[in-house]
């Protein structure tokens, strides 16, 4: 699947945003059964919101306050609904509402060393509207391509992190093959060894 650079960046951003929700974080000593509760929100405060914007090189952020934090958390919840959508029609409705509420105004731009690409947010958009517009359009492109099933949640017990499956045959099951995938393969290997030894 060919994805333009700016769309890939927006997809990485939306995945990271959804995964800031506390129910998507594994505890340091491994998973429990089901989704993990009681963990810290990756957007716990305004400093975390600034860190998120800086980590994703979001330009024109300006001064952020509690209203911005609440608005970005709301956008995060609505993106999580897109990842949980049972079918393309449901995902389309969710994305359409997000993008419309953001006041999408597509414009070509080249900045910060990037070639021409499209920004979908208005020039003075809030951080929440910026994320809703750009990330919402990236998800829209995935859906339009008939690839909504690539928007997934990790199948590892206790994880549930969001990811976009960009594998050729749509076979990725875990958010990370190095952590969740490897952990499950090791557990399965140990179980087989115990069975063989019994």
Contact 75/68 with Cβ under 8 angstroms?
no
Tokens standing for residue 180: 């969740």
pLDDT band at 181 (very low <50, low <70, confident <90, very high): low
Cβ atoms within 10 Å, residue 166 = 14
Average pLDDT value for residue range 2-15: 89
Contact 155/173 with Cβ under 8 angstroms?
yes
For 107, list phi and psi in degrees, rounded to 5.
-155, 145
pLDDT the model gives residue 29: 41
The owner of tokens 């690539």 is 150
pLDDT the model gives residue 31: 41
Contact 164/185 with Cβ under 8 angstroms?
no
pLDDT the model gives residue 189: 56
In total, the chain counts a number of residues equal to: 198
| Per-residue pLDDT at 183 exceeds 80 | no
Task: Give the rounded percent of residues in the chain with a pLDDT score beyond 90.
Answer: 53
pLDDT band at 186 (very low <50, low <70, confident <90, very high): low
Tokens standing for residue 155: 């199948």
Average pLDDT value for residue range 139-158: 91
Q: How far apart are CA 92 and CA 88, in angstroms?
A: 6
Range from 128-137, 164-173, 182-191 that averages highest in pLDDT:
128-137
The owner of tokens 């070509």 is 108
Q: Which of 35, 23, 9, 24 is nearest to 164 (CA)?
A: 9
Q: How far apart are CA 155 and CA 22, in angstroms?
A: 17
pTM: 0.81
pLDDT the model gives residue 93: 96
Q: How far apart are CA 150 and CA 158, in angstroms?
A: 20
Q: How far apart are CA 17 and CA 25, in angstroms?
A: 12
pLDDT in tens, 15-73: 999 999 987 654 444 444 333 444 689 999 999 999 999 999 888 888 999 999 999 99
């Amino acid at each position: 699947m060919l994805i333009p650079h700016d769309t890939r960046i927006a997809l990485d951003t939306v995945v990271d945003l959804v995964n800031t929700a506390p129910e998507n974080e594994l505890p340091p000593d491994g998973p429990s059964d089901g989704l993990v509760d009681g963990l810290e929100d990756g957007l716990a405060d305004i400093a975390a919101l600034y860190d998120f914007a800086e980590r994703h090189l979001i330009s024109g952020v300006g001064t952020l306050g509690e209203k911005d934090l609440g608005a970005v958390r709301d956008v995060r919840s609505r993106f999580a609904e897109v990842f949980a959508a049972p079918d393309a029609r449901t995902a389309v409705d969710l994305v359409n509402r997000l993008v419309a509420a953001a006041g999408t105004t597509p414009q070509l731009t080249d900045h910060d060393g990037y070639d021409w690409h499209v920004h979908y947010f208005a020039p003075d958009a809030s951080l929440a509207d910026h994320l809703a517009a750009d990330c919402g359009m990236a998800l829209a492109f995935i859906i339009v391509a008939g690839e909504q099933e690539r928007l997934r949640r990790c199948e590892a017990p206790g994880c549930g992190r969001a990811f976009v499956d960009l594998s050729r045959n749509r076979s990725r099951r875990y958010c990370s093959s190095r952590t969740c995938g490897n952990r499950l393969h090791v557990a399965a290997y140990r179980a087989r060894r115990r069975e063989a030894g019994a």
